[in-house]
Amino acid sequence: MRLAPLACAVAGVLALTACGTSTTDSDVTSAELTSAELDLLTRSETFTRTTVDLANAESELISACMASRGFRYRADAADPTPESDEERSLNMKERRSRGYGLASQYASEKESAGTATNDAYLAGLSKKKADAYMKALRGGATDFREMRFGGGRNITFSARGCEADSRTSIYGSLDDWVSISYFPQNLNSELSSRVEKSPKYRSAMNDWRTCMRGKGYSYASPDTAYEQLKGVYRAKGATTALREREIAVAVADGECGAELHIPATVLTLRRSLAQSLPTSDKLQLRRLTAIWKAAADRVR
């Protein structure tokens, strides 16, 4: 898979196809993924800090752009969390309050997520001004484009408006912004089945099952626990007792994961297995990582 240049676009649709840059012999011999490339692929290590910096810069640019068009837009600056990759993956605080997040999906009354400042501002505008606000932010109905990725995944995005202008300013082109956002994610997903077949992962899951049995639960894997609870919600709806069980299972799952360092094991396996991805994919990842790093350097 490789990013198609604009010349490969048809009717406003871009695709990751073979019409990208050709692979040379020197490319093949130097296709070992670097730490930065693995960070972008697996969303680990330097990824969080870089993502926060880029998101903050984008928000500031959008705010300035919207102000120039007569609208208020609050740029909310975020700080990277001091947590490790494993702590972020387990997210014990979320598990203790919401479990796997299933109850809110099946409850008759959804949990309130609060109202963002910009959403509240938009809600207070007249329909005419609100329409103008959204056009300034994301363009009109005819400004949307689509990029196709492997596995039949299509991403739709607007090529106009303050969001698009800000992303172009940071990344150089919207095509590169979309590719950086989704191409590594797709590659990382493709590694999942290989991770699950590895002896180290299977051994970790054996230990996880033993740990969970010690806490009174019998599940084959974290995914199985999630899916079985989801099935009960579908069959019976959200009840207080089921929500309590969901939280208890999710917390036990996270505690076993932390005790056995399962997220760290999975991350190590992903970073190792990524080196055997097809050369064309690794070269595309290399190109996108260079753009990603250059964008981060510009905004810092």
* Model confidence pLDDT, tens digit, residues 73-102: 999 888 888 899 999 999 999 999 999 999
Q: What is the pLDDT, as a whole number, of residue 153?
A: 81
- Please work out, in degrees rounded to the nearest 5, the angle formed at the alpha carbon of residue 222 by the alpha carbons of 216 and 226: 90
pTM for the structure as a whole: 0.84
Amino acid present at 288: L
Q: Coil, helix or strand for 18?
A: coil
pLDDT at 4 over 80: no
pLDDT at 150 over 70: yes
pLDDT band (50, 70, 90) for residue 10: very low
pLDDT at 28 over 80: no
pLDDT at 61 over 90: yes
**Burial class of residue 125, CB neighbours in 10 A (0-12, 13-18, 19+):** middle
pLDDT at 25 over 70: no
What number is the average pLDDT over the span 120-149?
Answer: 94
pLDDT band (50, 70, 90) for residue 152: confident
What number is the average pLDDT over the span 179-191?
Answer: 95
User: Could you write out the three-class secondary structure of 175-228?
Assistant: HHHHHHHHHHHHHHHHCHHHHHHCHHHHHHHHHHHHHHHHCCCCCCCHHHHHHH
Between 27 and 202, whose confidence is greater?
A: 202
Q: What is the pLDDT, as a whole number, of residue 30?
A: 58
Tens of pLDDT along 153-168?
889 999 999 999 999 9
Between 151 and 62, whose confidence is greater?
A: 62
Alpha-carbon separation of residue 58 from 53, 172, 174, 268 (angstroms): 9, 13, 13, 31
Q: Which residues pair with 146 in a beta bridge?
A: 13, 156
- Please work out, in degrees rounded to the nearest 5, the angle formed at the alpha carbon of residue 150 by the alpha carbons of 182 and 176: 35
Between 78 and 200, whose confidence is greater?
A: 200
Q: What is the pLDDT, as a whole number, of residue 115?
A: 53
Cβ(42)–Cβ(188) below 8 Å: yes
113-115-116-122 Cα dihedral, nearest 10 degrees = 140
Tens of pLDDT along 260-279?
999 999 999 999 999 999 99
Cβ(165)–Cβ(69) below 8 Å: no
Q: Coil, helix or strand for 109?
A: coil
Q: What is the pLDDT, as a whole number, of residue 108?
A: 62
